[in-house]
Amino acid sequence: MPPAHPLADQAATLRSKTLTFLRAPVSRELWAMLMNRGHSFIMPASWSALPRTRQIESMIVAEGKRVSDGTTFAMTGDLVQAARAIGQDQSIALPFTPDVLPASSGMLAFSPEEPLMHVGPGAPVVAVTWGPPMEGFSPGVHLTWWAAMPDQDQEPDAAARGRLIPMVPDFDLHLSFLPFFDTRLCLEELPSGLLYSAVPLRTVVAAWYALTADSTTLSEQRPHAAVTQALKELRAKKRGVQVTTTSGADAAHRAITERAAQRMRDVNEQSEMFAPSPELAATPKKVEHGVFEAALDHQLDAGNRRIAHIYREASDHWHRLEMQATQRYPGIFENLEELRVREHEQWKPWCWVPSDHVAAWLVEMYDAPVDQAMWDGHRIAALGAWRSGGRHSVLTTLRLQETASDRVPVHLPEAMPAPGLGVVIDDNGRIHLLLAFLDDVSDHGPADAELVLISNYGNPAHMIEDVSKLTVFLTGRDLLDAVKITQGYYDDAVVKNGGTKPHPAEEAEYAEHAYAMGLYTGLLSAICATGAQVQDAGALTGRKLSATWPPEPNVLSETTLWLLGGESETRR
């Protein structure tokens, strides 16, 4: 029987120790400690509403599956050297496509003495794990790089007591396949919040390029029998290790750069979508509450504490929708902002990006199914318009019945102070959250402008799949007439698309819908009316200067909350 290969033994041993660690209680303790210290992990947006313990359990189970089911790889020193050099040289773009991956899931292992890279003093990266994208994310991989746990930081007799921590998760992210290009993989200006992950991410992708290069050779090697037996008892699949060799670091460096350059030339010939996007506040990984942080509530009176609670519920909900949209379609808002800047003359100036353009972009650039793209299109257009305008939202102190109107708000295209507005309704302790935007209809059938509202109907945990769309064309004698025109337009669209015309609604149903819409359109008219009494809610805490109304776009990622109260010119 051939002797164990040293690189295979090293990689398999680390894999065995990692599986043992992930299945031990100490892993839950480590994740909890990291999260309590502010470390955030990539997860499906729906998990963010789960209790912390369930989040941790789900993340560790997912990581354990990547390690146990995937292929294990090891690289010789010259390949590691080439990957490091390319990771540091940001002039080399590294387009990421499925064929760059050596396997759909796996673990690439190193040693503390010769790591893939260092992510800080005394923090050598000793492993990279990856696997299929998590629920709700676009095509690509979930990637984690791991730093060695220093021996001096281990508990006494950690291995004997089942509390050995062989490595700690240093950073994880979702990396999309093209057509979305992660700017951390090229020389483009890097967003300041992503500087840390740029070089490590590039080094990982360069290592994958090395593993799949024509100039490298992969051969399956076996570790020592005792390690193989340990992996068998841990129910690990594919217990051999793919060891990669090459003729030298220079040859590996040349093979990676030539292949990446050719791939980039192909990409640039196909699309111009990789130009820098306009500067706008990105969606933060963790929602920001600013002056309304819960830790400061004790400084507020009862009324302002209530506003702080409402602010957090609203900002958490809309942040969750933003996160879900960017997880499903990475870079979607930046891409659409670029589209808006480039093609805005093709639609009305009061519209951010028409929802049909958004849906078409989802189909073309993200390969989304048509039905899903049509569903998501309006919701992403509402979120994008709201973000582009500066995430401004208005909390009403008026009863809806006071602003209810049966008039069609035809003045909104000229009156709305931002491409999209958030509306917060405090209804006897239940918070209703709306995002409003004006859609430019492609065929301009009943009218140029269509008012679209997306609502969580008082449920703070609602996701993109759950939020309701309410819509009405800004036309007709009154709101009842507008509702009928809107319904007729969509009924005719069903017939044009090969369906059967729906049975007409009863007059009472039209009236009920018109009344419900009147509550929202009346409130929106009050917000957009000349002389509306609007105050910056954050300034009332005494912790920030008051912003001025009407609102303007800004680069903050925080929601700006305004209070609407008193009488205004709502009836024209």
Range of the domain at 511: 300-564
Please list, in sequence order, all residues whose beta carbon lies within 8 angstroms of the beta carbon of residue 351, skipping any fewer than 6 positions away: 385, 419, 437, 438, 439, 440, 449
Task: With a cut of 80, say whether residue 191 has pLDDT above it.
Answer: no
- Band (pLDDT 50/70/90 cuts) for residue 278 is low
| Pairing of the two strands 392-396 and 560-564 | parallel
Residue 374 lies in a domain: yes
Residue 537 lies in a domain: yes
Q: Of the candidates 232, 250, 270, which is a domain's last residue?
A: 270
User: How far apart are alpha carbons 362 and 336 in whole angstroms?
Assistant: 10
* Inter-residue contact 167 to 11 (CB < 8 Å): no
- Residue 178 structure tokens: 């093209």
- CB-based burial of residue 567 (10 Å sphere; 0-12 exposed, 13-18 middle, 19+ buried)? middle
Whether omega for the bond prior to residue 369 falls within 30 degrees of 0, making it cis, is: no
Task: With a cut of 50, say whether residue 567 has pLDDT above it.
Answer: no
565 half-sphere exposure, CB direction, 13 A CA radius: 7
Please list, in sequence order, all residues whose beta carbon lies within 8 angstroms of the beta carbon of residue 238, skipping any fewer than 6 positions away: 69, 70, 71, 72
- Band (pLDDT 50/70/90 cuts) for residue 10 is very high
- Band (pLDDT 50/70/90 cuts) for residue 445 is confident
Q: Give the residue with greater pLDDT, 448 vs 500.
A: 448
Q: In this structure, are 218 and 335 located in the same domain?
A: no
Average pLDDT over residues 415-426: 94
Q: In this structure, are 226 and 372 located in the same domain?
A: no
User: How far apart are alpha carbons 320 and 291 in whole angstroms?
Assistant: 20
- CB-based burial of residue 18 (10 Å sphere; 0-12 exposed, 13-18 middle, 19+ buried)? buried
Neighbours of 49 (CB within 10 A): 15
Q: In this structure, are 219 and 309 located in the same domain?
A: no
User: Reduced to 3 states, what is the DSSP secondary structure of residue 2?
Assistant: coil
* DSSP strands (E only) in 465-542: 468-473, 534-536
User: Reduced to 3 states, what is the DSSP secondary structure of residue 538?
Assistant: helix
Q: In this structure, are 264 and 305 located in the same domain?
A: no
Residue 284 lies in a domain: no
- Band (pLDDT 50/70/90 cuts) for residue 238 is very high
* Inter-residue contact 393 to 424 (CB < 8 Å): yes
Residue 295 lies in a domain: no
Q: In this structure, are 311 and 446 located in the same domain?
A: yes
Task: With a cut of 50, say whether residue 568 has pLDDT above it.
Answer: no
- Residue 298 structure tokens: 């004790």
Average pLDDT over residues 524-536: 91
Query: What are the b/e assignments for 359-380, b being 16+ CB within 10 Å?
Result: bbbbeebbebeeebbbbbbbbb
Residue 475 lies in a domain: yes
Q: In this structure, are 380 and 254 located in the same domain?
A: no
Residue 461 lies in a domain: yes
pLDDT digits (tens, 9 = 90+) for 90-144: 888 899 999 999 999 999 999 999 999 988 777 899 999 999 999 888 889 999 9
Average pLDDT over residues 246-268: 88
- Band (pLDDT 50/70/90 cuts) for residue 269 is low
Q: In this structure, are 257 and 306 located in the same domain?
A: no
User: How far apart are alpha carbons 459 and 432 in whole angstroms?
Assistant: 7
Q: In this structure, are 516 and 477 located in the same domain?
A: yes
Q: Give the residue with greater pLDDT, 565 vs 355.
A: 355
Task: With a cut of 50, say whether residue 234 has pLDDT above it.
Answer: yes
User: How far apart are alpha carbons 512 and 522 in whole angstroms?
Assistant: 15
Q: In this structure, are 426 and 534 located in the same domain?
A: yes
Q: In this structure, are 221 and 314 located in the same domain?
A: no
pLDDT digits (tens, 9 = 90+) for 379-404: 999 999 999 999 999 999 788 888 89
Please list, in sequence order, all residues whose beta carbon lies within 8 angstroms of the beta carbon of residue 281, skipping any fewer than 6 positions away: 387, 391, 554, 555, 556, 557
3-state helix, strand, coil in the chain (%, to 5): 45, 15, 40
- Give the per-residue pLDDT at 194: 45
Q: Give the residue with greater pLDDT, 178 vs 387.
A: 387
Residue 140 lies in a domain: yes
User: How far apart are alpha carbons 347 and 275 in whole angstroms?
Assistant: 22
User: Reduced to 3 states, what is the DSSP secondary structure of residue 251?
Assistant: helix
Q: In this structure, are 321 and 240 located in the same domain?
A: no
Average pLDDT over residues 252-257: 93
Q: Give the residue with greater pLDDT, 179 vs 46.
A: 46
- Give the per-residue pLDDT at 569: 36
Residue 87 lies in a domain: yes
User: Reduced to 3 states, what is the DSSP secondary structure of residue 210?
Assistant: helix
* Inter-residue contact 338 to 278 (CB < 8 Å): yes
Average pLDDT over residues 356-363: 93
Task: With a cut of 50, say whether residue 192 has pLDDT above it.
Answer: no
* Inter-residue contact 422 to 391 (CB < 8 Å): yes
Instruction: Give the percent of the chain with pLDDT over 90.
Output: 60
Neighbours of 122 (CB within 10 A): 11
Domains: count for the chain? 2
- Give the per-residue pLDDT at 275: 47
- Give the per-residue pLDDT at 343: 86
Q: In this structure, are 101 and 249 located in the same domain?
A: yes
